[in-house]
Structure 1
């Protein structure tokens, strides 16, 4: 069976602004180059992700853009995509064990800038709500968080690092964290959904943001703007990630980069808004 002019994209969750903006970037480039886009959603489920790759292989698409689910810690199903002579590019959540092109945002630098900004506003005990630590984005953002503390001579308290990456879990966890004997004075969240949950919980406890508690997220987009006060966050530029990933996969399909492997990094931007204090003089 011959391959067609279709690119499949696997999204962990389409409801997230970051992933939907990636899809928009992919579709823009694909449309210009005469490719169709077939969209799959893993819903952060490993078994569903495996089934999707089986469907993709049987469909004989020309290429696959993939961001792994939070549950995925083995990646044989993606190797099978390559073994079936289908081009593969990872974006955002990548697999380092498979040799292929990748597009990521500068997670380390984004986290470092966010935490350093909190420190410059006077924060000293910064809690970090992370995704599962086997994910590369979690490792990189955690390292940015830790290095910002160390380079600003703030002692690392690993008890302030929690695996919590949804709004629902943040709403449940945050009151417990703030009721510690040694509570944090600020939070850095792995994404804006989590940050919005922190904000909801903090306000429900009668605390003022940012005077009592500061909050910084990571994603950008409408959710950050819809928060009250508006959320300080790290803008990931998902649309650029999508465009870059689409260009890479199309070049692979057309044989322009055969035998070459590229790791593209999209820079982040700190968007300072109302959930952090003004900088100290």
Structure 2
């Protein structure tokens, strides 16, 4: 396939290459009518600007690297969609890689993107223990980076966060105000800042009502992890009145296991999840869950990154986004499934 060049357009118009170039770049010294005729001719010929030439002129790759921990839940794909919408509007391409919850893979991905001269990075950290030295090095070299969802407080970089503490507090309070006192929290990896905030919100909701917080049990993000922890509670005959899970998938795993063992949800045990997955409204009974503005998280991260690339901000920014609690039958017997 032959690509139409600026010389082809100039030849068709019977003018110089410099005239066509001035039309493409909307220079002041070209008549509007002439510019319009050139642009119309270029469009009819199927002309597309040479991206390599554009990158050389601007001294940018117009590529953005994005690294997420996993694709198993709907959370990260929705964030990616939001970021892509903003980046495409600013003529950036996005390269997405996933760490599979591995710090080693995450580091390899970051180095590969940097070696390929991306203009900036959008990152959500893996759940494994990390050495942050390479990120510190990149930041010291003024590499534009925005972290979201899973961040490291030690890094002085822009961040897009959710009000995890507040909504963990509200979700727990939703249970307590129904007279529930024995609540178990299925927590995700405690070293992650958002997990710490959810744990603290869970505990502080108890303190508000002069209750001792229930146990916080280590649980991952998967259905299988929720099933495992629920079965352990059943085996110990230590059944709570309610479960507040740090993820929808672990909440769903717990529901499946308790129902399989003859417990009725929500009559015998109430369950609240976090992150409003697609499955939340389809499981039986439908799952009460905290909804996060996933698409907006991606958009905000991309907007912050573009500002850093364009030197519109001189200090790192932190943006906190709000959510809502979608109450369904899993946590309230009065709601019909």
TM-score (norm 2): 0.79
Q: Does 1:192 align with 2:248?
A: yes
Alignment of 1:128-167 (within 5 A): 128-157=185-214, 160-165=215-220, 166-167=222-223
Q: Does 1:175 align with 2:231?
A: yes
Q: Report the 3-state secondary structure (helix = DSSP H, G, I; strand = E; otherwise coil) of the residue aligned with 1:129.
A: strand
**1:134-157 residue CA offsets vs partner (Å, 9 max, x unmatched):** 110111000000000111121124
Aligned partners of 1:234 and 1:268 also within 8 Å: yes
Aligned to 2:71: 14
In structure 2, how many angstroms separate the alpha carbons of the residues matched to 1:11 and 1:156?
32
Q: List runs of 5+ in structure 1 lacking aligned partners.
A: none
Per-residue deviation, 1:84: 4.2
In structure 2, how many angstroms separate the alpha carbons of the residues matched to 1:19 and 1:117?
27
Of stretches 181-190 and 104-113 in structure 1, the one that deviates more from structure 2 is 181-190
In structure 2, how many angstroms separate the alpha carbons of the residues matched to 1:17 and 1:81?
29
Q: 1:111 aligns with which of 168, 189, 205?
A: 168
Aligned to 2:330: 275
In structure 1, how many angstroms separate the alpha carbons of the residues matched to 2:237 and 2:259?
20
In structure 2, how many angstroms separate the alpha carbons of the residues matched to 1:124 and 1:15?
33
Q: Does 1:260 align with 2:315?
A: yes
Aligned to 2:139: 82
Q: Does 1:122 align with 2:179?
A: yes
Q: List runs of 5+ in structure 2 lacking aligned partners.
A: 1-55
Of stretches 36-45 and 8-17 in structure 1, the one that deviates more from structure 2 is 8-17
In structure 1, how many angstroms separate the alpha carbons of the residues matched to 2:135 and 2:282?
37
TM-score (norm 1): 0.94
Per-residue deviation, 1:182: 4.1
Q: Does 1:211 align with 2:241?
A: no
Aligned partners of 1:57 and 1:81 also within 8 Å: no
In structure 2, how many angstroms separate the alpha carbons of the residues matched to 1:253 and 1:195?
40
In structure 2, how many angstroms separate the alpha carbons of the residues matched to 1:268 and 1:190?
15
Q: Report the 3-state secondary structure (helix = DSSP H, G, I; strand = E; otherwise coil) of the residue aligned with 2:274.
A: coil
Larger Rg: 2
In structure 1, how many angstroms separate the alpha carbons of the residues matched to 2:312 and 2:205?
40
Aligned to 2:295: 239
Per-residue deviation, 1:180: 3.2
In structure 2, how many angstroms separate the alpha carbons of the residues matched to 1:176 and 1:96?
33
Q: Does 1:37 align with 2:102?
A: no
Aligned length: 276
Q: 1:62 aligns with which of 115, 119, 122?
A: 119
Query: Against the structure 1 CA distance between its residues 93 and 105, is the aligned structure 2 distance closer, same or farther, given a 3 Å change threshold?
Result: same
Aligned partners of 2:123 and 2:147 also within 8 Å: yes
Of stretches 209-218 and 176-185 in structure 1, the one that deviates more from structure 2 is 176-185
Higher RCO (Cα < 8 Å, 6 or more apart): 1
Aligned to 2:21: none
Query: Against the structure 1 CA distance between its residues 150 and 180, is the aligned structure 2 distance closer, same or farther, given a 3 Å change threshold?
Result: farther
Aligned to 2:52: none
Aligned partners of 1:60 and 1:86 also within 8 Å: no
Per-residue deviation, 1:173: 1.9
